[in-house]
Structure 1
């Protein structure tokens, strides 16, 4: 087997990137990284760079400075932007958030992937997130940047509505698992140029005691 490519990925966003609410402290980023072992052809280093409460316009300005030291080594460098929930929570105009995303994409020279915001919060906030999802998707289509939508797929899932941390906004362990599933099956491997793993990443079977 060829030597795995040394790929460094910086994942920028808000508290959902930081994994707030997950008792295992993995979030969706950790789960996606766990499903990208060296057998995929990629030696992945994933940096979760989420800041709780930051909107898109605050996230994108961090990208150049915070990615630079993490991109000092490695064969390939990539960026993931996963924003929007904080924008909706703060009531920021979707057009303003979309413009900030476009600015961020235009100022990034490495391959970039955008993960859309999931449906959370009360009904008015969910409506705002739906508007953001559409606006972000349009920006990515225009710039030919891959976009993984989570709003539509999760809106119809009862399991998502029940997978809530104590604050009622962030996902719990099961919710982050659903987000990771959507990312992994929404184009993650093709974006990395990796082969999906054919076997479980970790064998969880308990070994038998020697007789």
Structure 2
């Protein structure tokens, strides 16, 4: 992966990617436009094959101001993995990126990840519930009603969550956005559901990227407090030429094509996916 020379002036000292490693301190501020741009080099996949072999959401009404602290987390249920053949119901919930909007092959990153989540001990049923334009508030309102019927009869319930760009576009406060994520994670884990969070991807706009990076840090912190895997997609892709080229070539310059979705799938599959699924 090569650094974009025209962004070099924005670089701070290199820092470790968040999500997989240590999370950043909590930040309960509103999205602002005066913070300096912070891009740091991070490991990312090489150019992804366009056959999928490897490697803007609509605005919503602003949410009400949220409390400045996440809820106290005390899980009341344990997630267990059965021996032998495992009957897994896996639901992907998010917005347009989760839905795979803009991929001419119709796979998105979800389809590519599911295609590579095949194992002799895994009887997997996967559902993509991505909805264009959704904010974290929309997901809070719908995830339970939509997911639980799809888990009915499954002995192992899994939730893959990816949301947040719509929060930035709608002007939602940082505190409200992270609280929405925390509430989903707490409700799911308290019900004995295994949760995995896929982070936000960068755009072509530097101002938007500053806001996305700040929210990505906050999401990583929320997940870290709960021991939930968070995949950092922002930093590996912010300096990835193929990702940026794929966005620039797309009709709306906001959603990637098959190459970009292949890159997200690569990051998911290589950052804790098999460990989360207890696959050897």
- Which band: TM-score by shorter chain? 0.7 to 0.9
Please name the residue that 1:176 is paired with. 261
- More moved, 26-35 vs 55-64: 55-64
Verify the 8 A CA contact 1:148 1:186 in the aligned structure 2: yes
1:78 matched to 2:161? The reply is no
CA distance, structure 1, for counterparts of residue 171 and residue 244 of structure 2: 22
Q: Which runs of 4+ in 1 moved over 6 A?
A: none
**If the length of structure 2 is used for normalisation, what is the TM-score?**
0.66
Output aligned runs, 1:1-211, within 5 Å. 4-39=85-120, 41-108=121-188, 109=191, 110-164=193-247, 165-195=250-280
Q: Which has the higher helix share?
A: 1
Q: Which runs of 5+ in 1 are unaligned?
A: 196-211
Q: Is the 8 A contact 1:61 1:104 kept in 2?
A: no
Higher RCO by CA contacts (8 Å cutoff, separation 6 or greater): 2
Which range moves more in the overlay, 94-103 or 168-177? 94-103
User: Structure 2, unaligned stretches of length 5 or more?
Assistant: 1-82
CA contact (8 A) 1:94 1:128 kept: no
3-state SS, counterpart of residue 62 of structure 1: helix
For residue 177 of structure 1, report the CA deviation from its aligned partner: 0.1
- Equivalent pairs, count: 193
Q: Does the 8 Å contact 2:112/2:265 carry over to 1? A: yes
1:49-99 per-position Cα deviation (integer Å, ceiling 9, x unaligned): 111011111112212111111011222111111011211222322221111
Deviations 1:148-194 (A, max 9, x none): 11111111211110112211000100000000000000111110112
TM norm structure 1: 0.87
How far apart are residue 121 of structure 1 and its match?
Answer: 4.2
Task: Report the aligned-residue RMSD.
Answer: 1.4
Q: Indicate the larger mover: 88-97 or 106-115.
A: 88-97
2 CA distance for matches of 1:79 and 1:157? 28
Separation in 2, partners of 1:171, 1:94 = 26
Q: Quote the Cα distance in structure 1 between the aligned partners of 2:228 and 2:124.
A: 21
- Cα deviation code 1:96-133 (max 9, x no counterpart): 11111011111112111111111114111111110110
CA contact (8 A) 1:11 1:48 kept: yes
